[in-house]
Amino acid sequence: MVRFPLLTGRDTTRVSSYSIKSAYTTSTDNFEFSLYDEDPEKLDRLEMQPVELLINGASQLIGRIDSTVIGNDGSAVTCRGRDYMADLVECNIDPSGVIKPGMTLADALLGLFGPVGIKTVVSDDDAQLRQIRASHPVRKSGKGGGHHRKKVNDFFIRPGEGMYELGARLSARLGGTLQPGRNRTELVVDAPSYEQETTFSIFCTRDAINSAANNVIDGEASRDWSSFPTFALFTNKTGSVGNALNGLSATKDIWEVAAQSQELMEIIQRSTFSGRILPTDKPNISNGELYRLLYHRDNDSKTKEEIDNAIARAVADRLRETLRYTVELRGHQDPKSGALWATDTLAQVNDSIRRVNEVLWVHSREFRYSKQAGATTHLELWRPHSFVINSG
């Protein structure tokens, strides 16, 4: 269903095709849908109109129509747009805006984003969008980071900076991301949730007996280890022989990361060297074991927490490439739980054809529908902890 909150009597289910795409790390969700009506006037002047898109009664996107296309006999219109986060992307910070020392992140954002209608800034615990979109309980352990309550200090607004650009930059510095909320007046600041129950399942096999349970139309697993470090070292000052004796430092060994996945551990144990190798060392590397140092001097890190966060992000970015699993599924709902597919959730993948057998995190999700193909869902899944904002 398409709802038009400013147009009385124009809500409609006369949708011949649609696409709704959401990605956790993308600033805006995107949509496209085609409407038809015997009265062509009902298809006119929809540009800039706010809309809400629902599937099976569950809200999937609150946004605005950016552009329209009318062709053929004029009885249908194709509408394209983005969610309400685009209002922040396209709007610059007013030059009179200020961030005062001691403000919380929520207070700072509310003081700057009021012109586009933002009235509330909350954490993920207050507004779990994944549950709204899934139309199903998604239970998580632990509490949110409370990033919106953290203090903002030593921060400036760049002239001409966009609202979303500033909000994302400020949120990341405090360990969070900027996400849409339950309505267009609310923003959520939080990090990805990896400590949650597995809600979804993906199953694919060639086995003739069990293949009736397949929900996969097509899929691909890409594994790229070309840039993954075996040891990472971050400092904020130059120290003696790279030991950062005069400043802060953080280290991470690939063997620490490997414990979360059996596939990771098998590859790492048989082909890499554990630990740091100094130029003066004589390591016992005789059979082609890999050693690859990632070193970075991060002058922006002022505390141990900030440099720990920096190294965690860098290693996670490279971990992501070790498995990207893309899949096309039948329908929009998980066949076991009945939940609508949603980002920032966990799925148990058992795909014997692409040899993926582990729990993965849903990074992006696209719902598609056409009369020819019916309803399908397109996902990209990553290993948990392959997108992090902080080290905690």
pLDDT at position 138: 85
Structure-token pair, residue 357: 């057998």
Lowest mean pLDDT of 38-47, 100-109, 242-251, 298-307, name the range.
242-251
Q: Does the structure show a pLDDT above 80 at 392?
A: no
Lowest mean pLDDT of 95-99, 115-119, 364-368, name the range.
95-99
pLDDT at position 240: 44
Fold agreement (2-83, 200-219+323-382): yes
CATH number of 2-83: 2.30.300.10
What is the distance between the alpha carbons of residues 277 and 234, in angstroms, rounded to a whole number?
Answer: 15
Q: How many CB atoms neighbour CB 21 within 10 A?
A: 18
Q: Does the structure show a pLDDT above 60 at 177?
A: yes
Lowest mean pLDDT of 49-58, 140-149, 265-274, name the range.
140-149
Q: Does the structure show a pLDDT above 90 at 173?
A: no
pLDDT at position 32: 98
Lowest mean pLDDT of 158-172, 241-255, 330-344, name the range.
241-255
CATH 3.55.50.10 fits 88-190, yes or no: yes
Q: Please calculate the CA angle 363-366-371 and round it to the nearest 5 degrees.
A: 165
Lowest mean pLDDT of 167-176, 255-264, 365-374, name the range.
255-264
**Single-letter amino acid, residue 392:** G
Burial class for 292, CB neighbours closer than 10 Å (0-12, 13-18, 19+) = middle
pLDDT at position 244: 45
The DSSP letter of residue 148 is G
Average pLDDT for residues 94-121, to the nearest whole number? 93
**Single-letter amino acid, residue 93:** I
For residue 169, what are the contacts with CB-CB under 8 A and spacing of at least 6?
Answer: none
Average pLDDT for residues 308-317, to the nearest whole number? 86
Q: Each residue of 183-240: pLDDT tens digit? A: 999 999 988 888 889 999 999 998 878 777 889 999 999 999 999 899 999 888 754 4
Backbone angles phi, psi at 116, to 5 degrees: -100, 10
For residue 295, what are the contacts with CB-CB under 8 A and spacing of at least 6?
Answer: 232, 233, 234, 235, 242
Structure-token pair, residue 317: 């970015």
Which is nearest to 221 in space by CA: 378, 356, 352?
Answer: 356
Distance of CA 308 to the CA centre of its chain: 21
pLDDT at position 350: 94
Structure-token pair, residue 68: 């329209």
Average pLDDT for residues 34-39, to the nearest whole number? 90
Q: Does the structure show a pLDDT above 60 at 47?
A: yes
For residue 241, name the pLDDT band (cuts at 50, 70, 90). very low
Average pLDDT for residues 49-75, to the nearest whole number? 94
Task: Outline where DSSP puts E strands in 238-355.
Answer: 249-253, 293-297, 324-330, 346-351
Name which residue leads in pLDDT, 302 or 62. Answer: 62
Backbone angles phi, psi at 115, to 5 degrees: -60, -25
Domain locations in the chain? 2-83, 88-190, 200-219+323-382, 231-318
Q: Each residue of 113-138: pLDDT tens digit? A: 999 999 999 987 777 888 899 999 88
Backbone angles phi, psi at 212, to 5 degrees: -65, -20
The architecture that CATH gives domain 200-219+323-382 is: Roll (2.30)
pLDDT at position 309: 82
